[in-house]
Structure 1
Amino acid sequence: MTQRAEHSTVMDRLAIDDLITGYAHAVDDGDWDAYRELFTKDGRADYRSAGGIEGGCEEIAGWLSETMRHFPVRQHLIVNRRIALATRDGAPGDTATVRADYLNPMRLADPAGATPADHGAMAPNYTCGGRYAFTVHRTPEGWRLAEVVVHEKWRQVVPNGKV
């Protein structure tokens, strides 16, 4: 691999890593416009293993917008990212896959109506974990998500104040 190809590979890996971080931020912040911008025009996501739906980006963004209202406090931690770049004639290609573990602590909406800032809220804590499988494509706008598949491995609901 030439020095130019190595530099390009490093830059691609950094851009892909930033894309995955952008995904976590968009979901956690409820920024559904930013979420949509992360995907290719025909991008799809599959949340069925976590009790969700599978579909195109627009459908998924709408579903997430409604579903995440039940979780006013959320934080996706996407770790152990393994990026596999496709190559073409020894140079970086235009597709990649990313396998990454996630830990997703959230707080369910308080049935008594307390706000997330109210530390005395009695809403339960909800945590789940698993692995994402991302497929990404290089586009004229940069790297974008072509497919997101969630493989939830576990979940736990704990009443607030309990360990």
Structure 2
Amino acid sequence: MAGAFRMAKTEEMTQRAEHSIVMDRLALDDLVTGYALAVDDGDWPGYLALFTPDARVDYRSAGGIEGSAEDVAAWLAETLRHFVIRQHLIVNRRITLTSQDGAPGDAADIRADYLNPMRLAGPATDADGGPTAPNYTCAGRYDFTARRTPDGWRLTSVVVREKWREVRQPSG
């Protein structure tokens, strides 16, 4: 065929592999975002759906517990009920996919920083009776590990490494 463009087989395979890596990275980014939203919204069934059955979560550096996703979800539900505002901002995500014979593998590590402004329940409110600005802020780094499952990417481990926190007393 004169003038017809024909892509070499290796270029086609490379493009498929690159497309797969991009799709995996987007799915892993969505998994981390889902984690933050589930915690902030207190969506504990949604939180648990993000994990493999054998997953472990470690909040000890933030004064919490280490255990199964179920144990930590119960602890978070109890602890976070004291906060009327919660907003986990997870940024600077570095996603590392495992490689298997040069192709994307079925495991990933995600390191991401977090900033978590929250509002402790209490008497300080604005003129309309609503909560005012956050008075409890913490920040640090998450180390997530994930595995590809038949249901998509799921977390196998979450380790929280709190670096700092600030608690301000209500004014007034």
* TM-score scaled by length of structure 2: 0.86
Please give the alpha-carbon distance, in whole angstroms, between the structure 2 residues aligned to 1:80 and 1:118: 36
**1:65-88 superposed Cα distances (whole Å, 9 cap, x missing partner):** 101001121100000000000010
- Look up the match of 2:26: 14
Aligned with residue 118 of structure 1, among 129, 149, 166? 129
Name the amino acid aligned to 2:146.
V
Q: Summarize the Cα distance change of 1:101–1:10 in structure 2 as closer, same or farther, 3 Å threshold.
A: same
Please give the alpha-carbon distance, in whole angstroms, between the structure 2 residues aligned to 1:119 and 1:71: 13
Q: Work out whether residues 124 and 159 of structure 1, in 8 Å CA contact, stay in contact via their aligned partners in 2.
A: no
Q: Work out whether residues 124 and 160 of structure 1, in 8 Å CA contact, stay in contact via their aligned partners in 2.
A: no
Task: Give me the CA root mean square deviation.
Answer: 2.1
Are 2:142 and 1:132 aligned?
A: yes
Please give the alpha-carbon distance, in whole angstroms, between the structure 1 residues aligned to 2:64 and 2:26: 30
- The SS at the match of 2:64 is coil
Q: Summarize the Cα distance change of 1:144–1:113 in structure 2 as closer, same or farther, 3 Å threshold.
A: same
Q: CA deviation at 1:118?
A: 2.8
Are 2:65 and 1:59 aligned?
A: no
- The SS at the match of 2:129 is coil
Q: Work out whether residues 134 and 147 of structure 1, in 8 Å CA contact, stay in contact via their aligned partners in 2.
A: yes
- Look up the match of 1:49: 61
- Look up the match of 2:100: 88
Are 2:66 and 1:37 aligned?
A: no
Please give the alpha-carbon distance, in whole angstroms, between the structure 1 residues aligned to 2:56 and 2:125: 35
Aligned with residue 75 of structure 1, among 87, 90, 108? 87
- Look up the match of 2:4: none
**1:89-121 superposed Cα distances (whole Å, 9 cap, x missing partner):** 1110000000000000000111x4969x73466
Aligned with residue 153 of structure 2, among 131, 137, 143? 143
Please give the alpha-carbon distance, in whole angstroms, between the structure 2 residues aligned to 1:61 and 1:30: 9
Q: Work out whether residues 87 and 93 of structure 1, in 8 Å CA contact, stay in contact via their aligned partners in 2.
A: yes
- Look up the match of 1:156: 166
How many residues are paired up? 159
Please give the alpha-carbon distance, in whole angstroms, between the structure 2 residues aligned to 1:124 and 1:113: 11
Please give the alpha-carbon distance, in whole angstroms, between the structure 1 residues aligned to 2:131 and 2:66: 36
Aligned-residue identity in percent: 68
Q: Work out whether residues 117 and 134 of structure 2, in 8 Å CA contact, stay in contact via their aligned partners in 1.
A: no
